[in-house]
Amino acid sequence: MSSADRSSFDTTAAVSPVGERRGPDAVSRQAEASDRMSHRDDQKEQVREATDIADLVGSYLSLRRQGRNLVGLCPWHEDSRPSLQVNPQRQTFRCWVCNIGGDVFSFLMRMERLEFPEALEQLAARAGIELHSRRGGQSSEKARMQRTLSFAADCFRRCLEASPDAAAAREYLAGRDLSEETIQSAGLGFAPERWDWLIAQASQAGLGPQELLRAGLVVERSDGRGHYDRFRGRVIFPIRDAMGRCIAFGGRVLPAAAADTRRDPPAKYINSPETPLFSKSSTLYGLDVARQAIADARQAIVVEGYTDCLAAWQAGVGETVAVLGTALGPRHAQLLRRYADRIVVVLDGDTAGRRRANEVLDLLLAEPIDLRIARLPAGLDPCDLLTEQGGDAFRAVVDAAVDPLDYRLDEAVEQLPPNASDTACLAAVESVLMAVARASSAVKRHGGDLSQFRLREDQVVARLVRRFGLDRGVLRARIRDLADAGGRNRAGDAAPQQRRPAARESLPPWDREVLEVLVSVPEGAGLVIREVPSDDLGSRFGKAVLEAARQLFDESGRVELTGLFDLLPDPEMQSLLVEVDESAAARKGIAPPERLQQLEDALRLRGVRREAERTSRILKTQSLDADAEAALLEQIVAQRRLAQGMSDPKEG
């Protein structure tokens, strides 16, 4: 780890806007605990063992090593410093800002907003473990939808590979210079020009139209009598999430159908409708394949079409993804921020591209990420450029991408006629100043790097001064006015909340001592369970852990961190558990037997002290005769001496 890494991590002044808390409520947490316990069979342990937490977390965000741990940007708060820690040895994670933590199950549940059985099911599928049907094979709606979609993806893919129906589609793809390898890695398919092609195959496989409808694969007939296939006569692009699971489809019509003049031209592209699995505003095409390349390059290139994206991969520009018929928005940016420091949006050089650039700018100026805009030569789309001139030419365009403010300025200047009136010039200047003002308030609101932003602002102002001969001071004043006006307009909505490390229940030293032994010294569990009554611990957290440990010990004769996670699903509890586990591990050089010995000593000392307290209470509250009082006093002195001696540092 470099010292730069360390310093950026150690800066604990992480402040960023408050994120949505998605913790399950207390009732469902209880249900979850019983759920986790109810099939406390070997299957859960088998799935846990087959799942590596670094792998799982790493499939959602990029992690880098830091000492014993891996760290990454927390997906649950606006994280600019890596606050999420993953401990591969203990298979735990924890965000010290959100104060949440846990194991592989807790992570997936929170990440995908799943209940425990769904998380178990997904991790089992990921590990290739078949679960015995539990509770009559009942599974979640999302899981069923997932199965339906992957069934359909298989049908489409097989059709493209071999069916005579797909000859024209194969020809079209070959004409677009897509290689076999690209077609396979993208899982492309074909849906023949028929109304019930998929419905028929699904029915043979035991999938009814309702299942297909839920997954967005069929459409209800307007007369209410039955359904028809949504995708007909189209090349199919499976849309997969970052983990590679099919969540939707895009379909492109074949050129021949588009040229058919006997009927209205069909839409060139259609996508699945929004479902519980798919939302186009938070999905990027190709992220599952491009993820690693993006993390390696710390840069993501965003194009607008599936084929642009595939052509880029094929030309060796692996860090490319595509938006799905929508402008790049804040949720896309947040998704990419887990892997990349910079997003380069590649736009066509035409008017539509220009309009989209403005949409993107307005949405994204606020995002704390290095956003660049790359413009293609007029009349070219990325796919043309890639196939005609190759990956290097495309990279050159990407490398020449400009800062959004510069882009806005270029645009404003370009659009002015050669001898524009003063009014037109001032309007152009004003539009640039507006963009600067908006960006400046956004950076402030998000607690971004203001000095960095001021540099960009200076450059833009300097260019305006040169181009229009305006006064620097006047321009600056105007930016401030516009920013103030914008700020006032926004005063109604969410106040600029700052997120600090969550206030957490502080753990009394004795509680910590007991819990550390409980999680880190397996041989010590019996001693703790026998000798420490729950009342002996001062914190709500400590009592809860001890109760859970007692239950585990009664059931199995041992206490393990994973079992405690199962019984204590509360994310804050799990976070504290991870923290206690980490602090126990950090006490290097104390061997478990020594640790146990220390605990035993401490227990005895506490016993003696309690006794001494009891004695002195008797002395204070009861009226005793002189002899009894003398005897008690003697006892107190002896007890104090004993306690004193015990707390002395031991020698030899």
Residues lying near Zn ion in the complex (CB under 5 A) are found at: 74, 76-77, 95, 97-98
Q: Is residue 14 a contact partner of residue 97, using CB atoms and an 8 Å limit?
A: yes
**Which run of H or E residues covers position 304?**
none
**Selection from 58, 9, 620 nearest residue 292 by Cα:** 58
Query: CA angle, 447 as apex, 87 and 461 as ends, to 5°?
Result: 135
Single-letter amino acid, residue 498: Q
Instruction: Let me know if 23 is exposed, middle or buried by CB neighbors in 10 A (0-12, 13-18, 19+).
Output: middle
d(CA 458, CA 383): 36
**Nearest-approach distance from CB 76 to Zn ion, in angstroms:** 5
d(CA 647, CA 649): 6
Residue 27 vs 503, nearer CB to Zn ion: 503
d(CA 114, CA 136): 20
Handedness of CA 500, 504, 508, 510 (dihedral sign): negative
Place of tokens 């914190």: 539
Residue nearest to Zn ion (CB): 74
Return the SS3 of 250. Answer: strand
d(CA 96, CA 74): 9
**Nearest-approach distance from CB 96 to Zn ion, in angstroms:** 8
Residue 74 vs 207, nearer CB to Zn ion: 74
**Nearest-approach distance from CB 82 to Zn ion, in angstroms:** 10
Reading the block at residue 327, the tokens are: 């402008």
Residue 450: count other Cβ atoms within 10 Å of its Cβ. Answer: 12
**Nearest-approach distance from CB 452 to Zn ion, in angstroms:** 23
> DSSP assignment of 485-511, as one string?
HHHHHHTTS-----B-SPP-PPPPHHH
Residue 338 vs 372, nearer CB to Zn ion: 338
Residue 86 vs 217, nearer CB to Zn ion: 86
d(CA 155, CA 231): 12
Residue 319 vs 570, nearer CB to Zn ion: 570
d(CA 108, CA 432): 44
Residue 11 vs 38, nearer CB to Zn ion: 11
Total residue count of the chain as it appears in this document: 652
Single-letter amino acid, residue 209: P
**Nearest-approach distance from CB 20 to Zn ion, in angstroms:** 11
**Nearest-approach distance from CB 83 to Zn ion, in angstroms:** 5
Angle between helices 26-38 and 116-127 (to 10 degrees): 50
**Nearest-approach distance from CB 267 to Zn ion, in angstroms:** 41
Residue 82 vs 353, nearer CB to Zn ion: 82
Residue 425 vs 502, nearer CB to Zn ion: 502
d(CA 652, CA 647): 15
Residue 76 vs 156, nearer CB to Zn ion: 76
d(CA 230, CA 79): 40
Q: Is residue 171 a contact partner of residue 183, using CB atoms and an 8 Å limit?
A: no
**Nearest-approach distance from CB 27 to Zn ion, in angstroms:** 24
**Nearest-approach distance from CB 216 to Zn ion, in angstroms:** 32
Residue 97 vs 198, nearer CB to Zn ion: 97
d(CA 383, CA 426): 38
**Nearest-approach distance from CB 74 to Zn ion, in angstroms:** 3
Residue 14 vs 580, nearer CB to Zn ion: 14
Q: Which residues contact 291 (CB under 8 A, 6 or more apart)?
A: 59, 242, 339
**Which run of H or E residues covers position 631?**
helix 626-647
**Nearest-approach distance from CB 95 to Zn ion, in angstroms:** 3
d(CA 301, CA 289): 13
Query: CA angle, 315 as apex, 314 and 318 as ends, to 5°?
Result: 75
Residue 56 vs 215, nearer CB to Zn ion: 56
**Nearest-approach distance from CB 100 to Zn ion, in angstroms:** 7
**Nearest-approach distance from CB 65 to Zn ion, in angstroms:** 19
Alpha-helical regions (H) of 51-175: 53-58, 104-112, 116-127, 141-162, 167-175
Residue 78 vs 288, nearer CB to Zn ion: 78
**Nearest-approach distance from CB 85 to Zn ion, in angstroms:** 10
Residue 97 vs 361, nearer CB to Zn ion: 97
Residue 71 vs 169, nearer CB to Zn ion: 71
**Nearest-approach distance from CB 571 to Zn ion, in angstroms:** 11
Handedness of CA 235, 241, 242, 243 (dihedral sign): negative
**Which run of H or E residues covers position 280?**
none
